[in-house]
Amino acid sequence: MGEAKAAAAAAGTDEGGKTFDAIVIGAGVAGLYQVYRLRELGFSVRGIEAASGVGGTWYWNRYPGARFDSEAEIYQYWFDEAMFKNWQPSERYPAQPETERWLNYVADRADLRKHFLFDTRVTAARYDEAAQLWAVDTDRGERLQARFLISCTGMLSAPLNEVFPGQASFRGQIHHTARWPKERVEFVGKRVGVVGTGATGIQVIQTIAPQVGHLTVFLRTPQYVIPMRNPKYTPADWAKQGARFAEIRDRIQRTFSGFEYDFSNGAWADLTPAQRTEVLERLWADGSLALWLASFSEMFFDEQVNEAVSEFVRQKMRERLKDPALCDKLIPTTYGFGTHRVPLESQYLEVYHQPNVDIVDVKASPIERIVPEGVMTADGTVHELDILILATGFDAGSGALTRIDIRGRGGRSLKEDWSREIRTSMGLQVHGYPNLFTTGAPLAPSAALCNMTTCLQQQVDWITDCIRSMREQGRREIEPSKAFEDAWVAHHDETANRTLVVKTHSWYMGSNVEGKPRRLLSYIGGVGTYRQKCDEVATSGYRGFTFA
Ligand code: NAP
């Protein structure tokens, strides 16, 4: 019996096995691992998941063309070498169905499913200061309790799906990419519209363009794009990766972005123009995110370097786009390369050469409302559609948590606190919310600038070690001090404000959600540096955190 459960039973508060050492929200990459780790240490743990299966992002984002752009050999768990070796990715960047299958394979192999309540959404969580327990309410009318509440709710999981007035009046089908139906959506011969050209919209557009009758892309901000090189992986290829298991695992903990590659091309200023071009060409040809996350770190700080790399990418795009009018529409000029998420793509730009594909410039004439026939723009035009796809993104970082009514000490509300300022202590806890741990949360490295499996496992490991050390020391409550949190926020801001990233509009800064406080949502000091800082806190006996 777990410690919280025993205490609750002794106090007569364990209503029918509803009290746990920990409740984990989410059965995605982080949630599965968090449940695994706590269970292995003998804690009682209950996972709660809104979906009907495991997978998180890979459950919800089943839109056409969804795939990751982390290499299959790094988008992995590291707790079971045989599990790695016995899985055979089909290619370097597998698509959503395969990644969802992989997470099911992990859940089955580690026997994790039985710990989760599926089809159950956490609606509220309130910290009971006297009992030092979290009371967690679900949309099934159940109340569970736990000493620790751990959110594994994902950085990009609160979809912006109510974007335009009149959506309910649309006569055709309307789908947000992160709520894509399991049933097949038939595109053949249909008039389809896509709003959004982020990493998601690009994948959708390039995938459905060959099938649709007509495609209308409602374009507001074009993207710098890199063509993906996605070779098939044979069993022999995967055996080679398996032989490198420990090497890969150890390497990705220390790099800037949690990928295998890192900035290792020398300083921009030390190279001749020809040498710089040689590096950029080599990384371009790799067809990965290395051009962004492992070329020249100066690109993030120095406007001239950034402009040079941006121009390199623009020229690559021009060569493919040929038509100057398309170049004007599709090649970014108002922000620098890499100052927000760089998508990998396959034949995305070529789509716009198809005669049945049109761009509607919604910067010039914004979408005003959805009408029964389609999309009405500010100039009064109605763009008639059968299917409207919203690739409009997410309330990133904070949205998954502010959509739950979370109440900390004195009944304070996380939603209200974060409506004024989004703050955390290393993205792992929030002052005022004892015993709440967070993964994939603001002010830690995450989706923006990290291979998610790397960052999430590191955060889960830190949380697990902390909870284990509390058990060893007989401690029941942990909370970061205000001073510690202030110092982390100040360090985070100082690191962020030295970069050009803070100057670009995107979900990275929260500027895609009206009224959301602005702050870079991901820590940009590097995955290796962040890990070191987290480790220092742990080895100091959690200096900056108060215990009860
Ligand atoms: P996103 O990057 O936030 O893109 C949203 C798009 O919707 C933008 O083009 C935005 O235009 C547009 N938009 C939003 N509201 C609009 C409006 N009212 N009118 C016109 N356009 C509007 O979201 P996302 O593409 O879903 O990607 C989010 C993140 O998920 C990515 O950055 C990435 O981290 C992750 N992701 C990863 C992969 C992968 O691993 N390959 C794939 C997909 C997503 P503006 O830019 O003008 O606001």
Q: Is 220 in the pocket of ligand 1 (CB under 6 A)?
A: yes
Q: What residue has token string 């500010």?
A: 378
Structure token digits, residue 198: 């982020």
pLDDT recorded at residue 3: 56
- State the Cα–Cα distance between residues 54 and 27, nearest whole angstrom: 5
Q: Is 312 in the pocket of ligand 1 (CB under 6 A)?
A: no
pLDDT recorded at residue 35: 98
Identity at 340, one-letter amino acid code: H
Q: Choose which residue among 195, 206, 361, 389 to substitute to test ligand 1 binding: the one with the highest number of ligand atoms within 8 A of its C-beta.
A: 195
H/E element, 36: helix 29-40
Q: Is 69 in the pocket of ligand 1 (CB under 6 A)?
A: yes
pLDDT recorded at residue 13: 42
Instruction: Kindly give the interhelix angle for 273-286 and 303-321, rounded to the nearest 10 degrees.
Output: 60
Structure token digits, residue 516: 């959301």
State pLDDT tens for residues 39-70: 999 999 999 999 999 999 999 999 999 999 99
Mention every residue, 6+ apart, whose C-beta is less than 8 A from residue 515.
419
Strands 436-438 and 191-195, how do they pair? unpaired
- State the Cα–Cα distance between residues 436 and 443, nearest whole angstrom: 16
Ligand 1, atom nearest to 340 Cα: 32
Strands 133-138 and 122-128, how do they pair? antiparallel
Q: Is 341 in the pocket of ligand 1 (CB under 6 A)?
A: yes
Strands (E) located in 74-152: 116-117, 122-128, 133-138, 143-151
Q: Choose which residue among 341, 363, 368, 395 to substitute to test ligand 1 binding: the one with the highest number of ligand atoms within 8 A of its C-beta.
A: 341
- State the Cα–Cα distance between residues 490 and 502, nearest whole angstrom: 15
The H-assigned helical ranges of 209-271 are 235-243, 245-252
Q: Are 184 and 387 spatial neighbours (Cβ–Cβ below 8 Å)?
A: no
Angle at 402 between CA 397 and CA 403, to 5 degrees: 110
Low-confidence ranges of the chain (pLDDT < 50): 1, 10-13, 15
**Could you say which DSSP state residue 156 is in?**
S
Q: What is the DSSP string of 3-46?
A: HHHHHHHHTT---SS-EEEEEEE--SHHHHHHHHHHHHTT--EE
pLDDT recorded at residue 449: 84
Burial-class residue 435 by CB neighbours within 10 Å (0-12, 13-18, 19+): buried
pLDDT recorded at residue 12: 38
Q: Are 429 and 545 spatial neighbours (Cβ–Cβ below 8 Å)?
A: yes
pLDDT recorded at residue 447: 72
Return the C-alpha torsion angle 97, 447, 205, 193, nearest 10.
Answer: 110
Ligand 1, atom nearest to 201 Cα: 25
Q: Is 196 in the pocket of ligand 1 (CB under 6 A)?
A: yes
* Of 158, 110, 164, 196, residue with least CA distance to 521: 158
Q: Are 78 and 241 spatial neighbours (Cβ–Cβ below 8 Å)?
A: no
Q: What is the distance in A from the centroid of ligand 1 to the CA of 391?
A: 6
